[in-house]
Copies of this chain bind each other. A is one copy, B any other.
Amino acid sequence: MEWDQQQENQLQNQREENGVMYVKVMTDEQLETLRKQIAVYASICEQLVEMHKNLTAHQDLTGGRLENLYCDPLMTSGGHKISARQRWTPTAVQLQILERIFEEGSGTPSKQKIKEITSELSQHGQISETNVYNWFQNRRARSKRKQVVVAASSNNKNGAESEVEIEVESPKTKPENLLLLPQAQQDACFQNPDITSQLHFLGGSYHIYDQHAWQGE
């Protein structure tokens, strides 16, 4: 990593006075804190990678039951009618696209827009305009009352001592499922610079996350 390039213009914080050079400084402890934070991030990355691996592997191995795309009408043994699913299930790619469109743009896509979107999505799987329409309707309705209760908000009760106990445990802790947090929470993770909050989920004392999209009132 190379940010050294920018170091130069950081020296503006120095100040000389009476022959003594003053600099805004950081003590070792603070430094240590930072290091820990970095360590935490490193840890997070590590675990995320691990997670990623597992997921990938999982898909390959037990990718088992995925019947997503409308399966073939051909029924094999049994003679039962397995038939296609009734409900459309967006594929990963489609979801990504939809999500993106949803975020960037305007709230309600026009009919025309829907056609375009549908058209694009159809490149990634079976889909109909109705599906798209419904998706947006639902997405909107549900996101409206969706709120994530991010826990682990800072709790600087004891003044100076911000116990940053990073117990960066090695993945020995039975990582099979840990930190598979809802993305909402994940997002929060990165919007919140306070790493201590992340320590929580790393340490296992994750907090609740709640709500989805119902309650209006």
Q: Which residues on A are within 8 Å of B, measured CB to CB?
A: 1, 3-14, 20, 23-38, 40-42, 44-46, 48-49, 51-73, 80, 82, 84-86, 88-92, 95-96, 110-112, 114-115, 123-126, 128-131, 133, 156, 159-162, 176-183, 185-187, 189-190, 193-196, 199, 202-212, 214-217
CA distance A9 to B44 in the complex (A): 25
CB distance from A140 to the nearest CB of B (A): 14
Count identical subunits in the complex: 2
Nearest residue (CB) in B for A51 is B52
CA distance A89 to B25 in the complex (A): 51
Q: Which residues of B contact A88 (CB under 8 A)?
A: 208
Q: Which residues of B contact A55 (CB under 8 A)?
A: 52, 55-56, 59, 92
Sample (7) of A-B pairs whose CB atoms are under 8 Å apart: A8-B159, A55-B55, A58-B92, A63-B186, A65-B183, A114-B215, A126-B208
CB distance from A185 to the nearest CB of B (A): 8
Q: Which 7 A-B pairs have the closest CB atoms?
A: A62-B66, A41-B41, A25-B25, A10-B29, A126-B203, A111-B217, A48-B48
Q: Which residues of B contact A112 (CB under 8 A)?
A: 217
From known contacts A7-B30, A49-B190, infer whether A95 and B25 are also in contact, taking CB-CB under 8 Å.
no
> Is the pair B24, A6 in contact by a Cβ cutoff of 8 Å?
no
> Is the pair B66, A1 in contact by a Cβ cutoff of 8 Å?
no
For the A-B complex with A65-B183, A71-B202 known, give 5 more contacts whose Cβ atoms are closer than 8 Å: A1-B36, A24-B28, A62-B66, A63-B67, A71-B208
> Is the pair B128, A208 in contact by a Cβ cutoff of 8 Å?
yes
